C-alpha cells in the first residue's frame, strides 16, 4: 500500500498582518527613542541643577565680596579728605600729626573684588552652558560675567594711579616714623588712640608743590572709586541678586 505524503500549504500573510508587524516595530523603535531622549533630558536637567547650585554659591560669595570692598573704599575716600585737609593746613616746619601718617597708609590700599568665577569658567570652557535652556537666564549669566572684565579693568586703573601716589608718598613721609603706622589696617582707622593720631611727627618735606601733587593723586583715584562705588558695584550686586532669584526659581533651589 502506498503512503502518500500530504504537503501542507502555508497561506501567505495578508496585508493586515504586515501592517501590524510594521506598526509594532515602529512603536518599539519610537518608544526606545522616546525613552532615550527622556533619559538624556533628565540627565541634562540634573547637570543644569548642579551647575545652578554652584553658580548660586559663587554669586552669593560675590555679593559679600563686593560689599566688603565697598566698605573699604568708603574708608579710603574718607581718608582722602582727611589727608588732603592736613596737607593744606597742618604740615609746618617739617612736622605733621600722626593722623597724616595713618591716612597716608590707608589711601595706599587698592582693594579689588576677588570674583568667584570658577564655575562659569568650567561651564563655558566645556560648552555646558547649553544645559541652561532658559534664554533670559543665559543672557543674564553672560552679561554678569562679561562685566567682570570691565570691573577688573577699573581696578587695574586704580592700582596704577595708587602706585604713582605711593611714589610721591615715599618722598613725603619719614620711613622711620611711617613704620609705626604701616601695620595698622584699614579697619583700624577709628580705633587708633588720639595720643598717636594727634602727636606730631617729622616729615621729609615742606615743599608745597610736592605736597599738592600728593593731594592731587587722591583726586585722580577718587574719579575711579566714585565710579565703582556709585554705579559699577551697586549694579553688579543688583545683577547678582537678580541672577540668584532667577536660578532659584528655575531650578527650585533654596
pLDDT tens for each residue of 26-35: 766 766 666 5
Res. 1: pLDDT tops 50: no
Distance CA 143, CA 154 (A): 17
CA 130-133-135 angle, to 5 degrees, is: 105
For the CA atoms of 226, 231, 235, 236, the dihedral, rounded to the nearest 10 degrees, stands at -30
> What is the pLDDT, as a whole number, of residue 37?
62
Contact 60, 174 (CB under 8 A): no
Burial 208-243 (b: 16+ CB within 10 A, else e): eeebeebbebbeebbebbeebbeebbeebbebbeeb
Among 11-15, 70-74, 128-132, the minimum mean pLDDT is found in 11-15
DSSP string, 214-245: HHHHHHHHHHHHHHIIIIIHHHHHHHHHHHHH
Coil, helix or strand at residue 92: strand
Distance CA 220, CA 161 (A): 7
Distance CA 24, CA 31 (A): 10
Total count of residues recorded for the chain: 254
> What is the pLDDT, as a whole number, of residue 12?
66
Distance CA 231, CA 198 (A): 36
Coil, helix or strand at residue 119: helix
Distance CA 113, CA 233 (A): 10
Q: Phi-psi bin for 94: left (phi > 0), alpha (psi -120 to 50), beta?
A: left
Contact 253, 247 (CB under 8 A): yes
| Percent of the chain whose predicted confidence (pLDDT) is above 90 | 67
Identify the CA nearest to 137 among candidates 238, 244, 50, 254.
244
Task: Identify the band that residue 191 occupies on the pLDDT scale cut at 50, 70 and 90.
Answer: confident
Distance CA 86, CA 198 (A): 11
Partner residues linked to 156 by β-bridges: none
Mean pLDDT of the chain: 88
Distance CA 75, CA 5 (A): 111
pLDDT tens for each residue of 112-127: 999 999 999 999 888 8
pLDDT tens for each residue of 45-58: 788 899 999 999 99
Coil, helix or strand at residue 173: strand
Amino acid at each position: 500500500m502506498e503512503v502518500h505524503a500530504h504537503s501542507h500549504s502555508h497561506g501567505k500573510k495578508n496585508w493586515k498582518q504586515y501592517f501590524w508587524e510594521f506598526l509594532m516595530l515602529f512603536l518599539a523603535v519610537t518608544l526606545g527613542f522616546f525613552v532615550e531622549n527622556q533619559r538624556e533630558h533628565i540627565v541634562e536637567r540634573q547637570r543644569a541643577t548642579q551647575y545652578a547650585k554652584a553658580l548660586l554659591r559663587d554669586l552669593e560669595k560675590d555679593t559679600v565680596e563686593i560689599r566688603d570692598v565697598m566698605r573699604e573704599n568708603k574708608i579710603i575716600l574718607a581718608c582722602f579728605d582727611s589727608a588732603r585737609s592736613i596737607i593744606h593746613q597742618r604740615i609746618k616746619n617739617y612736622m605733621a600729626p600722626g593722623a597724616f601718617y595713618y591716612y597716608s597708609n590707608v589711601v595706599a590700599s587698592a582693594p579689588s573684588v576677588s570674583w568667584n568665577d570658577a564655575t562659569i569658567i568650567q561651564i563655558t570652557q566645556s560648552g555646558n552652558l547649553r544645559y541652561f535652556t532658559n534664554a533670559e537666564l543665559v543672557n543674564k549669566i553672560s552679561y554678569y560675567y562679561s562685566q567682570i572684565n570691565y570691573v577688573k579693568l577699573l581696578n587695574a586703573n586704580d592700582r596704577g594711579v595708587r602706585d604713582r601716589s605711593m611714589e610721591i608718598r615715599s618722598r613725603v613721609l619719614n620711613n622711620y616714623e611711617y613704620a609705626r603706622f604701616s601695620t595698622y589696617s584699614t579697619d583700624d582707622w577709628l580705633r587708633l588712640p588720639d595720643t598717636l593720631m594727634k602727636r606730631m611727627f617729622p616729615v621729609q618735606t615742606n615743599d608745597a608743590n610736592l605736597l599738592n601733587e600728593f593731594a592731587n593723586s587722591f583726586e585722580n583715584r577718587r574719579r575711579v572709586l566714585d565710579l565703582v562705588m556709585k554705579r559699577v558695584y551697586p549694579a553688579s550686586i543688583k545683577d547678582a541678586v537678580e541672577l540668584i532669584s532667577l536660578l532659584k526659581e528655575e531650578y527650585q533651589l533654596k
